[in-house]
Amino acid sequence: MTGSSDCKRLWVPDQGDGTYINPIIHADYPDPDVVRVGDDFYMTASSFANMPGLPILHSRDLVNWRIVNYVVERFPFDDYDQVQHGRGIWAPSLRHHEGRFWVFFGAPDEGIFMSTATDPLGKWSPLVCVHEAKGFIDPCPFWDDDGQAYLVHAYAYSRCGIKNRLTLHRMKPDGTRLLDEGRVVFEDPERHPTIEGPKMYKRNGYYYIFAPAGGVRTGWQTVLRSRNIYGPYEDRIVLRQGNTDINGPHQGGLVELESGESWFIHFQDKGAYGRIVHLQPVQWVDDWPVMGTNQDEYGCGEPVLRYRKPNVGASYPIEVPATTDYFDGERLGLQWQWQATPDPRWSSLSGSSLKLYSFTVPSEQKLLWDAPNLLVQRFPAPSFEASTRLALHADQPGTSAGLVVMGYQYAYLGLSRDEHSNRRGEYAYRLSLTFGDSNSGREKEMSGVALDINEVYLRVGVGEGAECGFSYSVDGEEYTPIGPQFQASKGHWVGAKVGLFCVNWGQGDSSEYGEFRWFVIE
């Protein structure tokens, strides 16, 4: 849930004086797209294999955002019941057409999918496979003035060996399938060696395709323009890093306000923090969009760091996406996602706590990296503290529950029954800090302490640069550092995540569980 405490302590873009600072969301919302419907703005982003998938965020001013829903409860393929790092739901497009909201996305191994809703806060329709294909990604629908429907998409080099081509298809107006094999509308490997994420618009008689080029970390935002939907298209680079620290400023959505203003939302790749979200002003000069500030002679700008807020005709309260959860509702807060398709047996809410039940880690190496029942959320700010209160209900060694920072390299602070407790007598539990490396397939305990109680307070402090320090407390007042510092890292196409776990390192699931009273980020 979001409260005033979140706004005081976390990243707040709204400066309260009519200006905002970038990023507008300092959290991992990759490949964002945005649409305006009346006075409301909605955004979605890639979610890969984390579930629920395709978050829906809402704003009234493009600066203050909150999470309001998800489009996908589960991706309808059995292999996503287990962890599938980097697969699943890639770059979506969000549109509003004929009174309905539409989301299209590409899954690089399965094809192009679509879902619709009349109310973005309600239940979205079951996914429709628009086109089964390997390597088709980043689809964007477009309905022309004459009622004809189209879809433009890019390609995943890792799946089909193509990375610099955009293809346009005719599509059924109801968005359920493609009607032809498609026509290549842009390909220029010398000037744009990678081009992807196309978003199609029409303005003043021109067809526009906004497309990021040059790669995630080092690329730029390209805009294509033509009087004919099939081209030929002129191209212009309209936003690049320039002299700023905002690398790869690209891949997002254009939105036009009733006031006549235009704005562009895009991401910046910030390593362990993921792909954080920026907002750029857009002016139109000779029917070309001019983004950001410090434009060169060719109309290419640099990202703004601070700017006046969009003119939406009113002022709205400061708000940030939720982080803290007291587990006092009927469902988990919308900030949470599982590392795979969730199983209802994994957890329960009692009205005052969250119970995570012990399930066996499926991989032979027994790595937490492979645990599908990991409950995680995005890093919400450059620096923050995440704390939880845990009671372990376990009679035998093998079950561990605690606090985790997940990425390619990861760390977790876990409480378990001490297998040596019978020889030590009063010390029945062990609290351990473990570091893991998904690349080497190894985990190593870095520090541990024996405890005579089953309830403990756990904390991780994340500093600038995503350096993490873990600590614990037996009374919730005084915290004791444990183990060395840990450098958080990104995961597969995502930033680092912070969250909770309860797993069984043995050979069978059990009724043992970790009970979490709250999870607080400040």
Residues annotated as catalytic (active site), given as ranges: 31, 196
Q: Using only the alpha carbons of the chain, give its radius of gyration.
A: 24
DSSP 8-state assignment for residue 232: -
Do the beta carbons of residue 266 and residue 221 sit within 8 Å?
Answer: yes
Rounded to the nearest angstrom, the gap between the alpha carbon of residue 298 and the centroid of all alpha carbons in its chain is 33
Residue 100 neighbours by CB distance under 10 Å: 15
How many residues are there in the chain? 522
What residues are paired with 140 via a beta bridge?
152
Separation between Cα atoms, residue 125 and residue 226, nearest integer Å? 34
Q: Which two tokens stand for residue 252?
A: 């997002």
Could you tell me what percentage of the chain is helix, strand and coil, using 3-state DSSP and rounding each to the nearest 5?
5, 50, 45
How far apart, in Å, do the first and last CA atoms of the chain sit? 13
**At a CB cut-off of 8 Å and minimum separation 6, what does 409 contact?**
435, 436, 437, 438, 486, 487, 488, 489
Separation between Cα atoms, residue 358 and residue 507, nearest integer Å? 11
Q: Name the one residue in this structure whose structure tokens are 């409301």.
A: 40
Q: In terms of Cα–Cα distance, which of 333, 464, 460, 477 is closest to 405?
A: 460
In three-state secondary structure terms, 507 is coil
Separation between Cα atoms, residue 389 and residue 473, nearest integer Å? 9
What residues are paired with 166 via a beta bridge?
186
What residues are paired with 432 via a beta bridge?
414, 448
Q: Which two tokens stand for residue 316?
A: 């709205």
**At a CB cut-off of 8 Å and minimum separation 6, what does 245 contact?**
none
Q: Give the angle 507-433-339 at the CA atoms, nearest 5°.
A: 55
Do the beta carbons of residue 323 and residue 7 sit within 8 Å?
Answer: no
Separation between Cα atoms, residue 25 and residue 321, nearest integer Å? 8
Q: Which two tokens stand for residue 361?
A: 């880690």
Q: Please compute, for residue 517, the number of CA atoms within 13 A of its CA located in the half-sphere on the CB side.
A: 11
Separation between Cα atoms, residue 494 and residue 28, nearest integer Å? 7
Residue 464 neighbours by CB distance under 10 Å: 7
